[in-house]
Amino acid sequence: MLLLSIILLPLLAAILLALLGGGRSVARWVALLTAIGTLLVSLGIASQVTAVREAHAMATTDGPVDGPVQPKLEWRRTWMTLGHLNQPSGAVLVDNESREVIAKGISETPIRLEFYLGADGISALMLALTAILTVSAVLISWESIQDRATEFYICLLALEAGMLGAFVAFDLILFYVFFEFTLIPLFFLVGIWGGVQRQFAAYRFFIYTLAGSVITLLGLVALVLKVMETGLTATPFSIPDIAAALKTHPLSEQWQIGLLLALSAGFVIKVPLFPFHTWLPLAHTEAPTAGSVLLAGVLLKLGSYGFLRICLPLLPDAVAGFGVPVYATMAVIGIVYGALGALAQSDIKKLVAYSSVSHLGFCMLGMFALNSEGITGAVMQMVNHGLSTGALFLLVGMVYDRYHTRELSELGGLATRLPLLSVCMVFICLASAGLPGLNGFVGELLSLIGMFKANPIYAAIGATGVVLGAWYLLDMLRRAFFGPLKEPASVHGPILDINMREALAVVPLMILCLWIGVFPKPLLDTIEDDVRVIVKMYPQQNAAKTEVAKRANDEIPKDE
């Protein structure tokens, strides 16, 4: 029930606000309380997932290995019955020669589309990330959103419901539904409360993403019907059941490649991978601060989460044979291109936007290493990028609230004027650049190690992104925050340092950055099982590694 309530809570709050109205002060308090409530529910889900995992670990030494995807909590209800699966009712096998006999022994099981919610370690992490960033997003909008504030918080809550839904959906169509639904509130967030070019940015973002995801839908339909043809499962939309069915009846590699291309069409745009990133800088820059935080922090993860949840476990042959060279190449180009793009920016927000392209490249690079280090690194990178880039957008938003500009040429030496804000900025930039001891390091290192094992060349090129990342972030710090004080002339009134509300939005993220950097073990433990079952799909990629591990295991007793 927690799974259902985590979606319904923000959704109902949004509906209530829409029906009952209420001014800005009511709306923002409702939004804040709902966001905090949702955060508590997400922590509840995380603790339940942990409890289930520990119970499993007690029972078996191998961990749960029923299938490549297995939620630890689940909630399912029938949504739509699409037809009937003619299953032989006994243990009789299908025999083409004596159809009549079989026809009598057939029991009709309805083929179901389901409301299938579930959570495993990966989704639990993403839920918590979403919930905490939403709290920050509400806090940062507290004063800066004056116009049509009620509608703003309605959109924000609806967006949260959509994002959370996508992370708990274990039915392909349901996942797609939430994936698509997020477009609607975000369109309004960017289009109404955005910057100067907000309309263009909103349209472009919406159409670009929609065009890709329509192809994804086509891929989903084709995949589902392929599974239906096998007649193995009555729920061919549920991701675990598809995975189980495809394990016994693998698709031909041609089919897998075609499906991978179609499915990933929506995901590569969302992540975004290199040639499909063109919508991102504009949308990030034009969105209001809260929109940028959620867009960068969570929505981009829907793409990589889609790869992780759908492509990797369901289409192993295509991913291993065809996917690695294609997507890893795109990821590597994205890392370097995004970093170079960030270096060239004079607008701080645009710089952060381009840095997202680069950081998500690391995430995809790790994922397509297809070994446990790489995939763990990818998940960590998803969380880390959410925290640090979310925080960066918050801080940039604070600077913008004070000076109404984000141009590096107009700002300088802000450290003397805004010492606390500068401290936060330096901290978060270092986290984002991957300083050891902070969170970015963990994800990037694991991703690169994973890729280095699989293919050192990709890893070597990708590693340059770390250097470039430090360069553009530190350069931005130097120009805007250090040196002689330079403020735009048009600013009136006192410029105050970070206040309590803003601190509440940013400091929790900073604490998490530090915690993950110093002691990432709880997070790694949470996702360990789920990563392991995905990695099991790729024995060839991990053959060498397991040998090493065996040897290591053999050696341990000798030492004792």
Partner 1 sequence: MYQHLTSAISQVLPEVVLLAAACVNLAVGPFLIGDDGAVPKGLKHRWGVWSLIALAIAAWLQCLPTPVVEATGLAPFLSDSLVSFVRLVTTVTGVVLVLINWNQTEERDSAESHACLLFILAGANLISLANDLVILFLALELVSIPTYLFLYVARRDRSGQEATLKYFLLSVFSSALVLYGLSFLYGVAGTTNLTALHQVLKNHQLNAMPVMLLVSIVTIVAGLAFRITAVPFHFYAPDVFQGTANSAAALLSFIPKVAGFIALVRILGQPSVTAATHIGYWSLAAKSGGLLYLLAIATMFVGNLLALLQTNVRRLLAYSSIAHAGYMLVGLSVAVSVPQINDDATAASAGSVGGLPALLFYLGVYGVTTLGVFALIASLSRPERPLETRDDLAGLSKTHPAGAFLAAVLLFGLTGLPPTAGFLGKLTLFLSAWSHGTDFGRTLAICLAINAAIAAWYYLRLIGVMYLQPSRDDTRRATGVPAFVGVSLCAVASIALFFAPDWLWQALQRVGG
Interface residue list for partner 1 (CB under 8 A): 18, 78-86, 94, 96, 99, 102, 106, 111, 151, 173, 176-178, 180-181, 183-184, 187-188, 191-192, 198-199, 202-203, 206-207, 210-211, 214-215, 217-218, 221-222, 224-225, 228-231
Q: Tokens 């699966």 belong to which residue?
A: 85
Smallest gap from Cβ 88 to partner 1, in A, equals 8
Among residues 237 and 458, whose Cβ is nearest to partner 1? 237
Strand partners, 238: 171
Among residues 121 and 219, whose Cβ is nearest to partner 1? 219
Residue-by-residue DSSP string for 277-336 = -THHHHHHHHS-HHHHHHIIIIIHHHHHHHIIIIIHHH-HHHIIIIIIIIIIHHHHHHHH
Quote the DSSP letter at residue 83. E
Buried b / exposed e over 100-125, threshold 16 CB at 10 Å, is: eebeeebeeeebbbbbbbbbbbbbbb
Smallest gap from Cβ 213 to partner 1, in A, equals 9
Q: Tokens 């090129």 belong to which residue?
A: 461
The span from the CA of 263 to the CA of 218, in Å, is 8
Cβ atoms of residues 140 and 397 within 8 Å: yes
Smallest gap from Cβ 253 to partner 1, in A, equals 19
Q: How many other C-beta atoms can be found within 10 angstroms of the C-beta atom of residue 210?
A: 14
Among residues 241 and 444, whose Cβ is nearest to partner 1? 241
The span from the CA of 268 to the CA of 265, in Å, is 6
Which two tokens mark 11? Answer: 């959704």
Smallest gap from Cβ 87 to partner 1, in A, equals 8
Strand partners, 116: 76
Among residues 153 and 188, whose Cβ is nearest to partner 1? 188
Which two tokens mark 271? Answer: 């992540």
Smallest gap from Cβ 234 to partner 1, in A, equals 9
Strand partners, 349: none
Among residues 120 and 241, whose Cβ is nearest to partner 1? 241
Cβ atoms of residues 339 and 164 within 8 Å: no
Among residues 180 and 502, whose Cβ is nearest to partner 1? 180
Smallest gap from Cβ 171 to partner 1, in A, equals 12
- What is the rounded (10 degree) CA torsion for 107, 111, 115, 116? 70
Angle between helical axes of 172-181 and 183-193 (0-180°, round to 10): 10
Taking phi over 0 as left and psi of -120 to 50 as alpha, with beta for the rest, 87 belongs to beta
Among residues 144 and 230, whose Cβ is nearest to partner 1? 230
Smallest gap from Cβ 252 to partner 1, in A, equals 15
Smallest gap from Cβ 421 to partner 1, in A, equals 32
Cβ atoms of residues 255 and 226 within 8 Å: yes
Strand partners, 84: 110
Among residues 158 and 411, whose Cβ is nearest to partner 1? 158
Among residues 292 and 371, whose Cβ is nearest to partner 1? 292
The span from the CA of 323 to the CA of 257, in Å, is 8
Smallest gap from Cβ 19 to partner 1, in A, equals 10
Among residues 210 and 470, whose Cβ is nearest to partner 1? 210
Smallest gap from Cβ 66 to partner 1, in A, equals 23
Smallest gap from Cβ 13 to partner 1, in A, equals 16
Cβ atoms of residues 520 and 380 within 8 Å: yes
Among residues 230 and 405, whose Cβ is nearest to partner 1? 230
The span from the CA of 299 to the CA of 317, in Å, is 28
Q: Which helix (H) or strand (E) holds 136?
A: helix 121-144
Among residues 261 and 435, whose Cβ is nearest to partner 1? 261
In degrees and rounded to multiples of 5, residue 86 shows phi and psi of -90, 100
Smallest gap from Cβ 86 to partner 1, in A, equals 5
Among residues 310 and 408, whose Cβ is nearest to partner 1? 310
Among residues 102 and 293, whose Cβ is nearest to partner 1? 102
Smallest gap from Cβ 367 to partner 1, in A, equals 26
Smallest gap from Cβ 207 to partner 1, in A, equals 6
The single-letter code of the amino acid at 360 is L
The span from the CA of 108 to the CA of 133, in Å, is 46
The single-letter code of the amino acid at 345 is Q
Cβ atoms of residues 363 and 423 within 8 Å: no
Q: Tokens 């339940």 belong to which residue?
A: 48
Q: Tokens 């790790």 belong to which residue?
A: 366
